Structure 1
Amino acid sequence: MRLTEGDRGRIAEAVGQAERATSGEIFCVLAGRVSSYVDVSLVWAALAALAVPALLIPFGFGLSWPEGWPTSGWQAAHASTSAVAGQTLAVYALIQALLFALVFVLTRIPPVLRWVTPRSIRRARVRAAALQQFLAHGVHVTRERTGVLILAALAEHQVELITDELILQKVDAGVWADAVAALVRGLKAGSPAAGFEAAVRQCGDVLAAHFPPRPDNPNELSDRLIVL
């Protein structure tokens, strides 16, 4: 999902227009992916490697080398217990290694990774990324603590909206649901610029109702969309 310079300009213009009616500040971020989720892939791969071979044994799956390999067809008529145990462990370890590698590679495919990653984990990491951007770009240090950050994470299919201290005190958190819904609609329609424009207008209306513009109303944060 790509944004042209024209799209970015539309979003910046929407932010500027919304901020002219309020002392609040709106900051927008678009992230392709907020986490690699390597740990999620590792967990699934480890679970498969540990569980699948053990689950196959009750169904008669034998843990032994294929006949004739690796001994070129020569076998002892009565193998010792230690030899059989060693062979079984070697086959078990090989199957585990192959399963681990296979599941890890499969879960690195983006649609598969999103499917196997619990929504709670995706939500938590998008929230953490939004907080990081909130702090990194100084949305928390506006003069009256009236900053709003809107972040959309494309790979996670999540939108996060964070408001600063004074807004939290005066505005009910549920009020921002319309802005989030507007952005989600735009993203689902393949038009992130239109989604951000609609969300910014919604936020601007809320901010204007609670935080009218000051006589001196400087633009404290950039109006440009940040793309990660």
Structure 2
Amino acid sequence: MLTDADRKRIEQAVRQAETRTSGEIYCVVASESSDYREVPLAWAGAAALVAPAILLAGGVHVTAPELMGDGWTAAQMAAAAEQAARGALGGAILLQGALFIAVALFTAIPPIRRFVTPRMLKQDRVRRRARELFMSKNLAATRERTGVLIYISVAEHMAELVADDGISEKVEPVVWEGAMARLVAGFKLKRPVEGFEQAIDQCAEILSEHFPARPGDNPNELPDAVVVLS
């Protein structure tokens, strides 16, 4: 996703941005935030459930032998009716099973799986993954709780910013949306470094308003290098 030269440019952008603020910026790129393994099963289950209704709506119906002919006893008519019902039920079960397997396999193909995954679910997984990384990378360990995680999940074309308590108390989450939009746009246009540079610059501008750099007292508390998760 990023070459060594790309990483160096992003690292330089972070380093330059942090000269303007006491905030600390940490960048992570992930290929995908979740495998969404439940999505193919959900689509397959839905297809199997609605299949009989679609068949009935399309005019397919169950046929039974003529039960009113001469020589039929009550027992024979009951047996014929039961056989027709069993055949219809067995056919429906086989159809549902075959449809379940076919849809599950088809929607399990990664590009198709991502396409049929609801956007709200992807947003939730990206947000959750970003928060998990914020904690696992110990980004809350800065002196004044001014760490910021810039996270982008490439497969979902979504980005998330997680700010530590010291920043979130002063900056509303909506303020970061413009920076995240620039980051996502850069990846969509196959210009990831430019997207990062613009997002980092905008974040630094916001941070400098509330947390300006203090000359002689601005330690670099978090790594500047971008982390890439395959």
**How would you bin the TM-score normalised by the shorter chain?**
0.7 to 0.9
Q: Name the structure 2 match of 1:14.
A: 13
Instruction: Kindly report which structure 2 residues correspond to 1:193-212, keeping only aligned pairs within 5 A, or say none.
Output: 193-212=193-212
Shift of 1:7: 0.4
Cα pair 1:63 1:91 within 8 Å, conserved: no
Alignment-mate amino acid for residue 53 of structure 1: P
Task: Report the Cα offset of residue 85 of structure 1.
Answer: 2.5
Q: Tell me the CA shift for residue 177 of structure 1.
A: 2.5
Partner of 2:164: 164
Conservation of the 8 A alpha-carbon contact between 2:157 and 2:188: no
**Deviation per residue, 1:158-207 (Å, 9 max, x gap):** 11111111111222333322311221221121111211111111111222
Per the alignment, residue 124 of structure 1 pairs with: 124
Q: Match of 1:133?
A: 133
Match of 1:94 in 2: 94
Q: CA deviation at 1:157?
A: 1.4
| TM-superposed deviation, 1:63 | 6.1
Structure 2 distance, partners of 1:220, 1:105, is 47
The residue type equivalent to 1:28 in the other structure is C
Instruction: Write out the 4+ residue segments of structure 1 that deviate beyond 3 Å after TM superposition.
Output: none
CA distance in 1, matches of 2:61, 2:105: 26
2:225 match: 224
Within 5 A, what are the aligned runs for 1:26-65? Answer: 26-62=25-61
Q: Deviations over 1:24-44 (max 9, x none)?
A: 110111111111111121111
Question: Which letter does structure 2 place at the counterpart of 1:23?
Answer: S
The residue type paired with residue 129 of structure 2 is A
SS of residue matched to 1:213: coil
1:63 to 1:199, Cα distance in 2 relative to 1, 3 A: farther
Shift of 1:101: 1.2
Q: What is the rounded CA distance, in whole Å, between the counterparts of 2:191 and 2:115 in structure 1? A: 23
Name the SS of the counterpart of 1:80 in structure 2: helix
Cα distance in 1 between the residues matched to 2:61 and 2:102: 21
Identity %: 47
Could you say which residue in structure 1 is the equivalent of 2:179? Answer: 179
Residue type of the alignment partner of 1:135:
M
State how far apart, in whole Å, the 1-side matches of 2:14 and 2:224 are.
6
- The secondary structure found in structure 2 opposite 1:178 is helix
Query: Where in structure 2 are there 5+ consecutive unaligned residues?
Result: 64-76
> Could you tell me how far apart the structure 1 residues matched to 2:62 and 2:220 are?
69
Q: Is the 8 A contact 1:16 1:223 kept in 2?
A: yes
Amino acid in the other structure paired with 1:179: A
Report the aligned-residue RMSD: 2.0
| TM-score under structure 2 length normalisation | 0.86
Structure 1 unaligned blocks of 5 or more: 65-77
Whether contact under 8 Å (2:23, 2:148) holds in the other structure is yes
TM-score, with structure 1 as normaliser: 0.86
2:68 corresponds in structure 1 to none
Q: Whole-Å Cα distance in 1 between the matches of residues 53 and 205 of structure 2?
A: 59
Equivalent AA in structure 2 for residue 21 of structure 1: R
Distance 1:58 1:30 in 2: 48
Matched residues in 2 for 1:139 and 1:186: separation?
Answer: 25
**CA distance, structure 2, for counterparts of residue 60 and residue 202 of structure 1:** 60
